[in-house]
Amino acid sequence: MDNWITIISFTYPHEAHMAKAKLESEGIETIIQDELTAQVNNFYSNAIGGVKLLVKESDARRANEILKESKVIIHDKDNETESEEETNKKLLTAKFIYLIAIILVIVAIVIIPIAISSIPTTQEKLTFYNWCFNGMYYEDYEFTPSTLHSEGVYIEFTDDCWESIKFQPDGIILLPGFESDKIRAFWRIENKKLTIWPMNGDLSLVNSNKEEIIAGEQPTENMYYGIYSVKFESIHLILESEKQIIYAYR
């Protein structure tokens, strides 16, 4: 019984049908293979080795000659025919590439969310580090804190920080004092904004103004209270509200 072998492959089905018509006009039986796959997607046509034109093995030599004469086969090769084994190898290679692509997509679907979830939040960054105070401007006026110990002496220089800001996980923030102990206040992150408000919960204090604070009519600590945008630049932290900007570094 004659085996069927691939005599030539085409990218597009209509090319295979033209060669088929030519061979059958010369009395050679043919079969077209993988035509439907190529019609669905031309990319898959190349992946599986194209649309294949098969003839009986006994007709292979004559079919080659006819196709060469009709210019369907232009380049003469040592082996113009393709065995079923070679065809299967190409198909397996295409399937392997497709499988690898599917695996990569699945890995991306799993890993990307994990990677995103592992990025620390603003709240985690604020609480993880001790922040060294670097400068503070309230309505373009620079204020310089001077935290005291409870004994009434200026705080010592420690950990390369004259003054520091500490965001505690329990919602308490410790801020530099003004010839006083550390100032304690509440803090929270909401809608990517930092809110700092006094321990007594009086949010009206965020409306303090520079002149009243300089004149001593309001406590200097009132300037801390308000809603800030939070920006991280390398090791630096920038807190900015409508009236105030605070610089710190970790």
| pLDDT tens by residue, 113-146 | 776 667 888 999 999 988 999 888 888 888 888 8
Tell me which of 143 and 184 has the higher pLDDT: 184
User: Do residue 109 and residue 13 come from a single domain?
Assistant: yes
User: Do residue 29 and residue 80 come from a single domain?
Assistant: yes
Asked whether the predicted pLDDT for residue 52 surpasses 80, the reply is yes
pLDDT at 41: 58
User: Do residue 78 and residue 182 come from a single domain?
Assistant: no
Last-in-domain residue among 90, 116, 142: 116
User: Do residue 89 and residue 165 come from a single domain?
Assistant: no
Mutual angle of helices 60-69 and 13-25, in 10-degree steps:
110
Last-in-domain residue among 116, 148, 171: 116
User: Do residue 235 and residue 130 come from a single domain?
Assistant: yes
User: Do residue 132 and residue 242 come from a single domain?
Assistant: yes
Tell me which of 41 and 17 has the higher pLDDT: 17
Domain count, the chain: 2
| pLDDT tens by residue, 133-182 | 988 888 888 888 888 865 444 444 445 677 899 999 999 999 999 888 89
User: Do residue 196 and residue 101 come from a single domain?
Assistant: no
| pLDDT tens by residue, 13-40 | 888 888 999 899 999 999 998 887 666 6
Tell me which of 79 and 205 has the higher pLDDT: 205
Query: Which CATH number covers residue 203?
Result: 2.40.128
pTM for the structure as a whole:
0.51
Last-in-domain residue among 116, 136, 155: 116
User: Do residue 64 and residue 80 come from a single domain?
Assistant: yes
Domain range for residue 62? Answer: 4-116
Q: Indicate the pLDDT class of residue 11, thresholds 50, 70 and 90.
A: confident
